[in-house]
Amino acid sequence: MNLQPKGRLLLAPENHLSAAHLAQGSRRSFLRGGVAAGASIASSAALAQASDVSSLIPPWTRSLGGPVVATGYGMPSKHEVNVQRRQSPGLTPQPQASVSFTPLQNLFGIITPSGVHFERHHSGMPEVDPQQHRLMIHGMVKRPLMLTMDDVMRFSSVSRIHFIECGANGGMEWANVAVPTVQYTHGMVACSEFTGVLLSTLLDEVGIDRTLAKFVLAEGSDGSALTRTIPMEFALNDVMVVYGQNGEMLRPENGYPLRLLVPGVQGVSSVKWLRRLEVGDKPWNTREEALHYIDLMPDGIHRQYSGVQEVKSVITMPSGGQKLVGQGYYEITGLAWSGRGKVRRVDVSVDGGRNWHTARLQEPVLTKALTRFRLDWNWNGAPALLQSRAIDDTGHVQPSIHQLRAVRGVRSIYHNNAVQTWSVQADGEVWNVQVA
């Protein structure tokens, strides 16, 4: 298949112009019309052109627009109403213990708008009053601390771009194809610029003995008072206590006013509505690390404390549930990430993994952040099987679904980082498939 772009072969649709308008716009077609039908037609065409001038200028050009501050906190255009977080029907019985998925098929670049960042609640979204909210740091520390939000926001801060991915992202597709679009296959990932205090700064402040203090328990202030154990090697590495996201405060559904961020580790560890950090010498074996977020292996053993989100990628355009508007040039684009560091390379196949082509990576390529890749493609109308395969800077190559199943079976639920296949049909429709 020829992958060299031949330029834009298909013009953008000009649906608002009639065929007659387009014909008038061309001197040659005007002359052809004149030759065929004579001078009387030419003069009536000129009249039509004069009376149609107003229809060529859109109403928003011929009227006064709205004032500033029409909305104090802006909203997307009403034409963007299709871009929404969505639940996957039948996945959970109650919306308070559920997940909504990021509409990756509609997003550009690497930053996820805060309003469509995926959500996962265990006992609903609490309405936390930031004036009353406190962060307690205690346990095996020299100086236990109780901090107000005012206190937390006075510490020296950092801003970093990281992804958050739920450990169950892709969990519906271990055994077979189950859902139609990238929103449902991969939409439990998002990437934001987070601002807050490094956990190491706070642990320095309370004072820990590294020979004894091996773990930190993080606890939320929601109805589930969700708890997760963070090993000290992660805690002192790059974990943050976060209040800012994409320039604003955290949204309520993403932990307002304070959350933990454990970069590269499954999202459940980035405890939302964070109220307490307890330093200890042993892991806690909490419900979310002994009953859920454990990976069932073929031999009946569960993997516990399986945190790291390994190297992964997916093509977002074209992707499942989309229809190509016609043959010609397309930019294949998608996202790659690794919980172990930076994305080194992404390869793309358009023939189901037979041959691969290295994609362009969009700068910046950041550690534990989404990375945008692109590849030029000239679609000749023949069926195609699109895949992407990421390699991270530890040398880990994203596995195929077969390579993954060979080790982990099909019942793991969590940590599915398999190569995704999208089938482009001759009619331009794209559907989710798995190849043998």
Partner 1 sequence: MFRSLSACATLCLALPSAVDAQQRTGYGLGRAPTTQEINAWDIDVRPDGHGVRKGAGTVAQGQKIYDEQCASCHGTFGESTSYMAVAGGVRKTDLQSGRASALKDATAIRTLGTKLNYATTLWDYIYRAMPWTNPQSLTVDQTYAVTAYVLHLNEIVGADFELNEKTLLAVQMPNRNGLTTAHGLSRVDGRPDAQGTLCMKDCVRDVTIASALPEFARNQSGNLAEQRRPLGPMRGIDTAKYGSKGGPAVAKTQMSAPAGVHPTELLARYACTACHGLTNKIVGPGFSEIAGRYQGQPAALGYLSTKIRDGGQGVWGSVPMPAQAAVKEADVNAIAQWLVNGAR
Residue 50 beta carbon to partner 1: minimum distance, rounded to whole angstroms: 32
The single residue among 257, 259, 278, 361 that binds partner 1, judged by CB under 8 A, is 278
Q: Total residues contacting partner 1 (rule CB under 8 A)?
A: 127
The single residue among 104, 110, 128, 147 that binds partner 1, judged by CB under 8 A, is 147
> Is 305 a residue that touches partner 1 (CB under 8 A)?
yes
> Is 310 a residue that touches partner 1 (CB under 8 A)?
yes
Return the residues of window 64-103 that contact partner 1 according to CB under 8 A.
Answer: 75-76, 78-90, 93-97, 103
> Is 14 a residue that touches partner 1 (CB under 8 A)?
no
User: Residue 250 and residue 257: Cα distance in Å, rounded?
Assistant: 6
User: Residue 275 and residue 69: Cα distance in Å, rounded?
Assistant: 35
In sequence order, the 6+-apart residues with CB closer than 8 A to the CB of 1 are 350, 351, 378, 380, 382, 384
Return the residues of window 156-175 that contact partner 1 according to CB under 8 A.
Answer: none
> Burial letters for 245-281: b for 16+ Cβ neighbours within 10 Å, e otherwise?
bbeebbeebbbbbbbbbbbbbbbbbbbbbbbbbbbbe
Q: C-alpha angle with apex 154: 150 to 158, nearest 5 degrees?
A: 125
Tokens read off for 89: 């029907």
User: Residue 130 and residue 362: Cα distance in Å, rounded?
Assistant: 38
What is the largest distance, in Å, between two alpha-carbon atoms of the chain?
Answer: 98
> Is 356 a residue that touches partner 1 (CB under 8 A)?
yes
Q: Nearest-CA neighbor of 191 among 122, 96, 107?
A: 107
Residue 159 beta carbon to partner 1: minimum distance, rounded to whole angstroms: 19
Q: Which is nearer to partner 1, 62 or 142 (CB)?
A: 142
Window contacting partner 1 (CB under 8 A); options: 22-30, 35-43, 360-368, 423-431: 423-431
Side chain identity at 56, as an amino acid letter?
L
Residue 213 beta carbon to partner 1: minimum distance, rounded to whole angstroms: 14
> Is 313 a residue that touches partner 1 (CB under 8 A)?
no
> Is 286 a residue that touches partner 1 (CB under 8 A)?
yes
> Is 111 a residue that touches partner 1 (CB under 8 A)?
no
User: Residue 22 and residue 285: Cα distance in Å, rounded?
Assistant: 69
Q: What is the DSSP letter of 111?
A: P
Relative to beta strand 134-139, strand 274-280 is parallel
Residue 233 beta carbon to partner 1: minimum distance, rounded to whole angstroms: 5
Q: Which is nearer to partner 1, 42 or 91 (CB)?
A: 91
Q: Nearest-CA neighbor of 293 among 405, 404, 166?
A: 166
Window contacting partner 1 (CB under 8 A); options: 18-26, 35-43, 360-368, 412-420: 412-420
> Is 403 a residue that touches partner 1 (CB under 8 A)?
yes
Residue 432 beta carbon to partner 1: minimum distance, rounded to whole angstroms: 5
The single residue among 29, 331, 360, 364 that binds partner 1, judged by CB under 8 A, is 331
User: Residue 421 and residue 376: Cα distance in Å, rounded?
Assistant: 18
